[in-house]
């Protein structure tokens, strides 16, 4: 995967499979501390201890259709490539927290990429899940919550192309405001037709 | 157009949007509309499933096709990613593989709009194999 946003999308699939209805994605970036941290937290079923021990092994998975689970091992690989690490805390019945710690300045750290597109895809296709996104930089912090947005707008769903575009724009402007690095907005499909 | 930076701006903007009601109807009765499921496991994501999903989200609404687009896990066809399952109302679902944006466009224009099949269909052979026999 060429960008961290796709890794995040991949890891969140595990939370969705684990029947989470609250999923939080947090990015902490600091140039001065040479830190780029991704934290994904959910309130899903959690990972049993016997699986947790080998969960980053690409040949360990709880899925039955295929015998491989590459999501966590790929994120671990990308973290370790920059001299960082991956930590997983999970308790059955309570949920899981995945923390990937990367070096901000390392040449092999991928850009975050289209995180806004990832949020849009997640919100559009998982309407019953509340997604929270936090992004902290040296310039400040931005927080978005799909639940709070729905409550504020007094609507049941965010499944609306125009609304999602406006939300994307709002998140983008705020991330630009705190000088979040490596954000990319992709609309490549418009050039295909 | 002024920039949207807060929920208050968003609320103001939303008053200008008119498509919310239709969407709620779609969410209540998905059986009467086109259903598109995009396989979004590691294999799918690495092959471009996110872009394909964004395309369907954008284009089905732009082309006035009532549809529900959701994501699913690995359908077991990792070699053919990105894969999608399309279910037209009252019909069996059809799985398409190797869905790039050109094929996604064909699927909308030919299969979804007219029912004409297009390249890339993955046969649903798991329904016909019975290991006990």
B24 domain-assigned: no
Cβ-defined contact of B45 to A160 (cutoff 8 Å)? no
Q: What is the mean pLDDT of residues A138-153?
A: 95
Query: Could you give the CA distance from residue B18 to residue B33 in angstroms, rounded to a whole number?
Result: 20
* pLDDT value, residue B32: 84
Query: Could you give the CA distance from residue B76 to residue A136 in angstroms, rounded to a whole number?
Result: 38
| Percent of chain A topping pLDDT 70 | 91
* 3-state SS class at B24: helix
* pLDDT value, residue B100: 94
B14 domain-assigned: no
B15 domain-assigned: no
Detail the DSSP E strand segments found in chain B: 34-39, 67-72, 84-87, 94-96, 121-122
* pLDDT value, residue B98: 95
Q: Is the pLDDT of residue A189 over 60?
A: no
B63 domain-assigned: yes
* pLDDT value, residue B132: 54
Beta bridge partners of A97: A41, A89
Domain residues for the domain of B106 are 31-127
* pLDDT value, residue B114: 92
Tell me the per-residue pLDDT of A89-118, one tens digit each, with 9 for 90 and over.
999 999 999 999 999 999 999 999 999 999
Contacts of A151 (CB under 8 A, 6+ apart): none
B126 touches A: beta carbon within 8 Å: no
B84 domain-assigned: yes
B13 touches A: beta carbon within 8 Å: yes
Give the CA radius of gyration of chain B: 17
Peptide bond into A84 cis (omega under 30): no
* pLDDT value, residue A135: 97
B47 domain-assigned: yes
Q: What is the mean pLDDT of residues B87-102?
A: 93
B36 domain-assigned: yes
Query: Could you give the CA distance from residue B76 to residue B84 in angstroms, rounded to a whole number?
Result: 12
Nearest CA in chain B to A125: B70
A22, A42 Cβ separation under 8 angstroms: yes
Tell me the per-residue pLDDT of A154-180, one tens digit each, with 9 for 90 and over.
888 887 777 888 899 899 999 999 999
Contacts of B70 in chain A (CB under 8 A): 125-126
- Interface predicted TM-score (ipTM) of this complex, two decimals: 0.83
Tell me the per-residue pLDDT of A49-58, one tens digit each, with 9 for 90 and over.
888 887 777 7
Tell me the per-residue pLDDT of B15-58, one tens digit each, with 9 for 90 and over.
776 555 454 444 557 778 999 999 999 999 999 999 999 999 88
Between B124 and B115, residue with greater pLDDT? B115
Q: What is the mean pLDDT of residues A147-156?
A: 91
Contacts of B43 in chain A (CB under 8 A): 70
B133 domain-assigned: no
- B125 band by pLDDT with thresholds 50, 70 and 90: low
* 3-state SS class at A62: coil
Contacts of A65 in chain B (CB under 8 A): 74-76
* pLDDT value, residue B1: 60
What are the angstrom distances between the C-alpha of A18 and each of A58, A88, A94, A129, B66? 18, 15, 11, 12, 30
Nearest CA in chain A to B14: A163
- Domain with B46 in it: what CATH number? 3.40.30.10
Tell me the per-residue pLDDT of B62-72, one tens digit each, with 9 for 90 and over.
899 989 899 98
Contacts of A176 (CB under 8 A, 6+ apart): A183
Average pLDDT, chain B: 83
Q: Please measure the distance between the N-terminal and C-terminal CA atoms of chain A and give it in whole angstroms.
A: 25
* pLDDT value, residue A191: 44
The domains of chain A, with CATH numbers, are 4-191 (3.30.565.10)
How many independent structural domains does chain B possess? Answer: 1
* pLDDT value, residue B19: 52
Between B36 and A61, residue with greater pLDDT? B36
Query: Could you give the CA distance from residue B126 to residue B7 in angstroms, rounded to a whole number?
Result: 48
Tell me the per-residue pLDDT of A6-22, one tens digit each, with 9 for 90 and over.
999 999 999 998 999 99
Query: Could you give the CA distance from residue A118 to residue A129 in angstroms, rounded to a whole number?
Result: 14
Contacts of B110 (CB under 8 A, 6+ apart): B116, B117, B118
Query: Could you give the CA distance from residue B48 to residue B65 in angstroms, rounded to a whole number?
Result: 23
Residue A88 sits at φ, ψ, to 5 deg, of -130, 125
Burial of A162 (0-12, 13-18, 19+ CB in 10 A): middle
């Amino acid at each position: 995967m060429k960008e961290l946003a796709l890794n995040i999308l991949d890891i969140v699939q595990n939370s969705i499979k684990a029947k989470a209805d609250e999923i939080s994605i947090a990015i902490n970036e600091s140039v001065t501390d040479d830190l780029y941290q991704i934290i994904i937290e959910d309130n899903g079923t959690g990972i049993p201890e016997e699986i947790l021990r080998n969960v980053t092994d690409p040949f360990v998975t709880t899925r039955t259709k295929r015998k491989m689970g590459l999501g966590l091992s790929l994120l671990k690989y990308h973290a370790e490539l920059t001299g960082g690490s991956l930590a997983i805390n999970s308790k059955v019945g309570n949920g899981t927290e995945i923390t990937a710690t990367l070096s901000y300045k390392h040449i092999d750290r991928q850009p975050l990429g289209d995180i806004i597109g990832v949020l849009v895809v997640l919100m559009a296709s998982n309407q019953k899940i509340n997604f929270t996104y936090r992004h902290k930089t040296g310039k400040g912090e931005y927080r978005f919550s799909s639940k709070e947005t729905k409550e504020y707008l007094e609507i049941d769903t965010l499944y609306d192309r125009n609304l999602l575009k406006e939300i994307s724009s709002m998140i983008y402007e705020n991330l630009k405001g705190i000088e979040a690095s490596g954000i990319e907005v992709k609309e490549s499909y418009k050039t295909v037709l | 157009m002024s920039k949207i930076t807060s929920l208050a701006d968003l609320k103001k903007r939303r008053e200008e949007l008119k498509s919310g009601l239709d969407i709620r109807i779609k969410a209540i009765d998905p059986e009467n509309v086109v259903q598109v499921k995009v396989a979004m496991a590691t294999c799918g994501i690495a092959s471009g499933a996110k872009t394909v999903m964004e395309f369907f989200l954008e284009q089905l609404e732009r082309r006035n096709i009532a549809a529900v687009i959701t994501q699913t896990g690995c359908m077991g066809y990792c070699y053919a990613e990105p894969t999608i399952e399309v279910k037209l109302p009252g019909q069996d679902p059809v799985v398409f593989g190797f869905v790039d944006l050109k094929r996604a466009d064909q699927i909308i224009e030919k299969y979804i709009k007219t029912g004409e099949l297009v390249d890339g269909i993955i046969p649903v052979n798991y329904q016909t194999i019975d290991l006990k026999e």
